[in-house]
Amino acid sequence: QYAALFLDGEADMLEDDDFEKSRELKKRAARLYYRGCLYSLRGLELDHHDFRKRLREDPEKMLSRMGKKDVPLLFWAGAGWIGTISIDSSNMARLAELSLAEAVMRRVLALEEDFGDGVVHEFFISFEGGRSEMMGGSAERAREHYRRAVVLWDGGKASPHVALAATVAVREQNLEEFKDLLEKALAVD
């Protein structure tokens, strides 16, 4: 969370004014994302022997063994993993792991969609909406996660509105939707 809120976010704001500082913050965020991912994967191995090895060999089989008690570690493993990949997208070894990290997050969604007040839907708004169709993303799937997130949070959280605005509305260059979503975010107490 620290990497996402304080390093990655600040790096994005600094990119135009201080590219070198922005790049250093991104590198630090990537290291923290990956460290969090590794801690979570090690935690999963306490209950599931050779989790990482077996995940790579047969993700579907390994993830089918996961239960609700595994959801927090699965979520943080997947979030950290994808955070690392998103920052270091030129690293082909990391990029090749995207399908594994996505499978982990999809298992979280299947096991407990309302984990952390539905934060997994917010993740998928950005994940689906932030990638082009060619890269496997989908504006429609992002909107489906947005609608579900709003229901789960009963409109009491600004972040789903911001996530959809920053990904889908920007990518589609839909100024009206962008403004509408940000107004909804600002209206949240």
Tokens (6 digits) for 32: 């923290």
The string of pLDDT tens digits covering residues 36-90 is: 999 999 999 999 999 999 999 999 999 999 999 999 999 999 999 999 998 877 7
What does the mean pLDDT of the chain come to? Answer: 92
Residue 84 near residue 96, CB atoms below 8 Å: no
pLDDT, position 3: 81
Rounded to 10 deg, the angle between the 119-129 and 71-87 helix axes is 30
pTM for this structure?
0.88
CA distances from 97 to 24, 59, 86, 100 (A): 23, 11, 11, 5
Answer yes or no: is pLDDT of 10 > 90. no
